Amino acid sequence: MNTGASSKRSPVLFFTLVYALSIPFWVLNIIFPIKLPLDNLPVTDIAATFAPTIAALILVYREEKLFGVRKLLRRTFDYKRITRKIWYIPIIFLMPLIYVLTYWIMRLVGLPIPTVWHLPLLTPFIFGLFFFAAALEEIGYTGYVTDPMQALYSALAACLIIGSIHAIWHWPSMISMGMAPGLFIWGSILTVSFRILTVWLYNNTGNSVFAAILFHAVTNTGRSVFPGSRSALELGDAAIAYGLITITAIIVVFLWGPKTLARFRYGRKGQPHGLDQMQ
């Protein structure tokens, strides 16, 4: 954690700016309710996604000038921070594994999902779009505000605060999409659970923003290419998929501890923690 830079940063100003920058696009969506073919997302969500990064860049420039801006943007590809390569396993494969388990459970309980599935040819393109969108969110939520929040609170408390604020930020879009109450609730829980998993990976990869972006992109891509697409994944108010993700987050908190999310409960004293012991 860069405590020097973190001490200059203002989470309150960041969250306020994110909302202020997003409000015009939420209003536009009410006036022009156009949806994207991908996941039925409002077109204005594309613009609103820029808000976390724009807010972060404005504040970093105010606090650290152009040097700070360049430094923050470079963290988009700070993969060299991930010195313990075994952490690429959960970054890349954790969410796909959860989606596979979700599919099996949905089939087991008899939900109407496709029995035949082929990976869409456009998957690399979809991943590229989601990587770009994830970068726009994580430069702000992970690169700018996570460290100062963890300097003020425990890792878990920081996750709960950031995740809750981010969840509420999604509400206008979720309302516009006409989400059922159950899915609305599960979607909000998902956002908090996802933040826990993201910070867990961030804290265990040398504070790599790239790790958070890649994890975010894989998560969203997997949801879109799920058999029957996102609408199938969210059958039954997405209780199966989002419930599994929430359970995973709870397990992570138990095993790595709420204070830092980086000290494996069953690690031997003086030895690497958690996944590091497998190297």
Per-residue pLDDT of 133-163, as tens digits, reads 999 999 999 999 999 999 999 999 999 999 9
Distances (CA, A) of 52 to 4, 84, 126, 165, 206: 21, 28, 21, 12, 22
Q: Residue 7 has what pLDDT?
A: 67
Q: Which residues have a Cβ under 8 Å from the Cβ of 15 and sit 6 or more positions away?
A: 145, 165
Domain count, the chain: 1
Would you say residue 260 has pLDDT above 80? yes
Domain that holds residue 51: 3-278
Q: Among 63, 53, 64, which Cα is nearest to 22's?
A: 53
pLDDT-derived band at 49, boundaries 50, 70, 90: confident
The model's pTM is: 0.92
What would the DSSP string read from start to end of the chain? --HHHHHH--HHHHHHHHHHHHHHHHHHHHHS--B-TTTT-BTHHHHHTTHHHHHHHHHHHHHHHHHHHHHHHHGGG-GGG--SGGGHHHHHHHHHHHHHHHHHHHHHTT----S-----TTHHHHHHHHHHHHHHHHIIIIIITHHHHHHHS-HHHHHHHHHHHHHHHHHHHHHHTT--HHHHHHHHHHHHHHHHHHHHHHHTTTS-HHHHHHHHHHHHHHHHHSTTHHHHHTGGGGHHHHHHHHHHHHHHHHHH-TTTS-S-TTPPTTS--GGGGG-
pLDDT tens, position by position, 216-235:
999 999 999 999 888 899 99
pLDDT tens, position by position, 171-196:
988 888 888 999 999 999 999 999 99
Tokens of 103: 């599919």
* Mean pLDDT, rounded, for 80-92: 97
Cα–Cα distance, 223 to 187 (Å, whole number): 13
Instruction: List the single range of 68-72, 110-114, 237-241 with lowest mean pLDDT.
Output: 110-114
Q: How many CA atoms lie within 13 A of 218 on its CB side?
A: 21
